[in-house]
Structure 1
Amino acid sequence: MKKKFLTWTLILYAVYGIFLALYFFQWSDIGVPAAYEGTAADPKTFMSERELMLSQEYSRYQNFLSFLAEPLEWIIYLGVMIFGVSKAFKEFGSKVSRYTIIRVPLFVLLLLTLTTILTFPFDYARRRLSVEYGISTQSFSSWMRDELIGFWIGYLIMALLITVLYFLMKKFERRWWLIAWFLMIPFLFFMMYLQPVVIDPLYNDFSELQNKQLEEKILTLADDAGVPAERVYEVNMSEKTNSMNAYVNGIGSNLRIVLWDTTLNRLKENEVLFIMAHEIGHYVMNHLYWNLAGVIVSTFFGLLFTYHLMKTAVRKWGRKLGFDRVSDIASLPMFYLLLTLLSFLANPIELAISRNAETDADRYAIEMTEDTEAAIGSFQELTVNGLSDVDPPALVKYLRYGHPTMMERIHMLETYGKDVEKTE
């Protein structure tokens, strides 16, 4: 079984890698569709030849690495079970302590550490590529610091969730998935409330926006839209990246309007206001809560399907893999495997919904600011600074993009501007 797994994994992964290389470097058309040539959405109208070349190169390499890394976690989880590593982790935990409250978090730590080490080369390669193409300005030590913070935050959250989950599996054999789902709802709200004031500051330095005139204009936009914000925050991102961003996140008293300093440094004031109007649009149209509702619904079906699939898988292959019941902590890699596979299958639907929401926010922003030139200019500048591919291959768009392509967004704004002029 081990030899077959290793042989077939190497063969299939090699074939998959060759397919990706051909798709991204040979088969993907990088030309501009005839309908967009000469328009504001045509990158040749706002990017130099070198910028365009770098954008295409960078996007191809990043997409290739991202897709190549996609199935790696699945392979790791399968390998951990087939090679008896999961069973060894469980036995080690049993030697350390007889208490479940210690054994389960220890198992989670061992599995997360192994997965992180095995996937690290891909993470580093993507980071290195970003540095070489001038997107990332972050030092290796700073990047590693962020990686370690992410590791320990992820571990603490996962250790808590998995400890509760496996307690429920043991206590409620048939209804653990439903009880776990009910408990996840308040937890998700709590994390949404906590994110802006506890987790985000661990990665970056936040301060009040220094440009008070701009802050007043942004708060006026927010007030007109009914956003309960009293200040705008600026985050120091220039020491890490040349990319630009802005967002509104959090709920209740922890709601925050945030601008990256790169956005402030590279965009004109009216362009910044358009970007903020877009983010405010997400709040006005309740996209934050719709996203949360989507996570709650997808979690329900994810746990339900995982319950049935895991029960069948444990019955068929459990003993060969070192566990004979679902509630055995050695089954955790199987739980992760099923959940990540289901998440991968649901991802295109979630991304399609997200792209639709982003289009709505773009429309809201252009209607609010009535400045087509600033809207188009902001997206063009975002494209140049992030070396974004304005028209990515279909595989990337439908499996990676939560936003419409930049070509689609700029074309929509340009068309909107012309339609407004006609009606006037």
Structure 2
Amino acid sequence: MKKWVTFALLGYGLFGLAIYYYLYGMAAGGIPEIYKGTSADPSLFLSEAEQALIKEYSTIKNLLFFISVPFEWLVYFFIVILGISRKFEEWSKQTVRFSFGQTAIYLFYLSVLTFLLAFPLQYIGYHFSKAYHISAQTFSQWMKNELIDFWISYAIMSVLIFTLYGLMKKFKKKWWLAAWMLFVPFTIFMMYVQPVIIDPLYNDFYPLKNKQLEAKILDLADRADIPADHVYEVNKSKETNALNAYVTGIGDHARIVLWDTTLNKLNEDEILFVMAHEMAHYVKKHIYIGIGSYLVLAFFGFWLTAKWMEKLVSKYGEKLQIHELSQLRTLPLFLLVISILTFSISPFTNAISRFEEKQADAYAIEMTENKDAAISAFRKLSKEGLSEMKPPGLVKIFRYGHPAMAERIYMIETYPLPGEKEKEKKEGADAQKSQD
């Protein structure tokens, strides 16, 4: 056990030093030559001080991300090998006799411990977000949201973990398949209820107040054959100064949502471009593609988790005092494996997401035919959110579900609109005639 602890701490420390060196020493600054002099050149709309500020904040965020993920793994690893998970299970069994109560008590102990251990890194993230004027929350407001997160997660996880371990006891070998089969309707259910039950716990959602703007957005929706009656705005200005809009939910509960910060800081043409982009996700069925992909990946994820856990318990179960996979004390091991697999496939899922975002950008520019509004909207999004124009390679691969801002702006500038395509064809035909 001492050897495991030593190697784990040493490995985490070396990884932290390596990622620090990569982000602060190796990651190239500036942008590629192809963007210089174009609309994507940050020197054309950002001062040197603003560029430096974006670089500082982005590097801090990236560092926190890369050290937070393996820190979570380290926590789960130590909870298992130090016997903490076993103690939590024993205490829960001593407290109540019925199995759901034991699961709820065990999970409460585990959730509180992991929350407290992760809190310093969470607070550091909040601190820098506040210091760089991204977050508009007071500490009490931020803490309130953290506690809401905790209790919502705890309530949902109590049901999920009780069900999961019940399936492990009933289906010794095929529990992962049974779990996945129940996971499918649960995922669809959560996608359906989140916009109307969970999201309002954090913020107030209401139909767009600017009815003239709403009429123009609904006209775009009608042109895109989207059966929308309302566009919703949400009061995010109490939390952040960043800009955003998104599509959430499925079926009758699908919503197009605008942050009030976006309404306050973008002009009408810029907002219409952003809305066209969000409508593209509906038109291109990205939400349903995302759900389908997620469920397929979950199938293989459950299978790999089962195989991995079986091997670990078979090899190290005696040392860890784990006799069966269905014991609650194996939960941190389950969460550890799931977290590692999720991180491992993030380059793939992020690549798919970036492709969909490019599709949405292309759809939006074709619908609005207003490149100036699109470019100025992206410039403001970058400036207000302190978004990197061109992130380092590893950051893009593991963190970015959207193309980098420089890529998006350059794509918009060079994207041939229908009128421009016809003009290019005519100019080419005229040039060919003159040569003849």
TM-score, normalization: structure 1? 0.98
* Match of residue 159 from structure 2: 160
Residue 418 of structure 1: how far off its partner (Å): 7.6
Query: Are 1:89 and 2:91 matched, yes or no?
Result: no
Report the CA distance between 1:319 and its aligned residue: 2.1
Tell me what 1:368 maps to.
367
**1-side partners of 2:419 and 2:290: how far apart?**
31
Q: How big is the shift at 1:417? A: 4.8
Q: Which moved more, 1:177-186 or 1:248-257?
A: 248-257
TM-superposed deviation, 1:422 = 5.3
Amino acid at match of 1:345: S
Shift of residue 22, structure 1, vs aligned partner: 1.0
Give me the whole-angstrom Cα distance separating, in 2, the residues matched to 1:191 and 1:106.
Answer: 24
Q: 1 CA distance for matches of 2:417 and 2:251?
A: 39
Q: How far apart, CA to CA, are the structure 1 residues paired with 2:3 and 2:186?
A: 42
- Which structure 1 residue ranges, 4+ long, deviate > 6 Å from structure 2? none
| Partner residue in 1 for 2:74 | 75
**Aligned to 2:247, what secondary structure does the other structure show?**
strand
Partner of 2:342: 343
* Deviation at residue 115 of structure 1 after TM alignment: 1.0
In the TM superposition, what are the counterparts of 1:147-296 in structure 2 within 5 Å? 147-296=146-295
CA-based RMSD of the aligned residues comes to 1.2
Residue-by-residue CA offset, 1:276-299 (whole Å, 9 max, x unaligned): 100000000000001100111011
Residues in 1 aligned to 2:405 and 2:422: alpha-carbon distance in whole angstroms: 26
Assess, with a 3 A threshold, how the Cα gap between structure 1 residues 329 and 400 changes in structure 2: closer, same or farther. Answer: same
Deviates more, 1:317-326 or 1:352-361: 317-326
Compared CA separation, residues 205 and 180, structure 1 to 2 (3 A): same
Partners of 1:217 and 1:419 in 2: how far apart?
22
Kindly provide the CA deviation profile for residues 48-83 of structure 1, in whole angstroms up to 9, marking residues without a partner as x. 121111001101111111111110111111101111
CA distance, structure 2, for counterparts of residue 264 and residue 110 of structure 1: 43
Unaligned runs of 5+ in 1: none
Query: Deviation at 1:419?
Result: 8.4
Question: Contact conserved, 1:214 with 1:269, CA < 8 A, in 2?
Answer: yes
In 2: Cα distance, 1:150 partner to 1:99 partner: 27
How far did residue 21 of structure 1 move? 1.5
Partners of 2:241 and 2:384 within 8 A in 1: yes
Q: How many Å separate the matches in 2 of 1:324 and 1:226?
A: 57
User: Which amino acid in structure 1 is aligned with residue 312 of structure 2?
Assistant: A
Structure 1 residue 9, shift from structure 2 partner: 2.5
State the match for 2:104 in structure 1: 105
Q: Secondary structure at the match of 1:413?
A: helix
User: SS state of the match for residue 258, structure 2?
Assistant: strand
One-letter amino acid of the structure 2 residue matched with residue 55 of structure 1: I
Residue 34 (structure 2) pairs with residue 32 (structure 1): no
Question: Which residue is 2:138 aligned to?
Answer: 139
Query: Does 1:47 pair with 2:46?
Result: yes
Contact in 2 for aligned 1:322/1:330 (Cα 8 Å): no
CA distance in 2, matches of 1:419, 1:207: 36
The equivalent residue for 1:413 is 412
SS in 2 for 1:6: helix
The aligned counterpart of 2:432 is: none
SS at the partner of 2:206?
strand
**CA–CA separation in structure 1 for the residues paired with 2:140 and 2:39:** 40
Deviation of 1:339 after TM superposition, in Å, equals 1.1
Q: Distance in 2 between matches of 1:232 and 1:323?
A: 53
Is this contact kept in 1: 2:206–2:234, CA < 8 A?
Answer: yes
Cα distance between partner residues in 2 of 1:385 and 1:368: 25
Q: Tell me by how many angstroms 1:187 deviates.
A: 0.8
**Contact 1:86–1:322 (CA under 8 A) maintained in structure 2:** no
2:61 corresponds in structure 1 to 62
Q: Which amino acid aligns with 1:373?
A: D
Instruction: Report the Cα offset of residue 5 of structure 1.
Output: 2.6
**2:68, 2:419 → 1: CA distance?**
45
Residue 264 of structure 1: how far off its partner (Å): 0.5
Are the aligned partners of 2:89 and 2:328 in contact in 1 as well (CA < 8 Å)? yes
Whether 1:119 and 2:118 are equivalent positions in the alignment is: yes
* Aligned residue in 2 for 1:380: 379
Identity %: 49
Q: Would the aligned equivalents of 2:366 and 2:417 in 1 still touch at CA under 8 Å?
A: no
Find the aligned partners of 2:182 and 2:14 in 1 and give their Cα distance.
42
Q: Spell out, residue by residue over 1:30-64, the C-alpha distance to the aligned partner (whole angstroms, 9 max, x if none).
A: 11211111111111111112111100110111111
Measure, in 2, the Cα distance between the counterparts of 1:421 and 1:352.
29
- Asked if structure 2 preserves the Cα contact closer than 8 Å seen for 1:242 and 1:386, the reply is yes
Give the residue type in structure 1 aligned to 2:147.
L
User: Aligned pair in 2 of structure 1 residues 118, 246: CA closer, same or farther (>3 Å)?
Assistant: same
Tell me if structure 1 keeps the 8 A contact 2:205–2:235. yes
Letter in 1 for 2:198: I
Amino acid at match of 1:97: V
2:433 corresponding residue in structure 1 = none
Mapped to 2, the partners of 1:16 and 1:177 lie a distance apart of 32
Q: How many residues of Structure 1 are paired with residues of Structure 2 in the alignment? A: 423
Answer with 1 or 2: which has the greater Rg: 2
Question: 1:111 deviation in Å?
Answer: 1.2
| Cα separation, 1, equivalents of 2:16 and 2:288 | 38
Partner AA of 1:389 in structure 2: E
Residues in 1 aligned to 2:343 and 2:120: alpha-carbon distance in whole angstroms: 22
C-alpha deviation, 1:420, in angstroms: 5.2
The reply on whether 1:329 has 2:292 as its aligned counterpart is: no
Give the Å deviation of 1:323.
1.3
Q: Look up the match of 1:5.
A: 4
Amino acid at match of 1:88: K
> Deviations along 1:272-323, whole A, 9 cap, x unmatched?
0000100000000000001100111011000011111111111111121121
In the TM superposition, what is the alpha-carbon distance from 1:423 to its structure 2 partner? 3.1
Q: Distance in 1 between matches of 2:421 and 2:290?
A: 36
Match of 1:320 in 2: 319
* CA shift in 2, pair 1:105/1:420, >3 Å: farther
Equivalent residue letter for 1:57: E
Contact 1:25 1:60 in 2 (8 A): yes
Contact 2:16 / 2:67 at 8 angstroms: preserved in 1?
yes
Query: 1:15 — aligned with what?
Result: 14
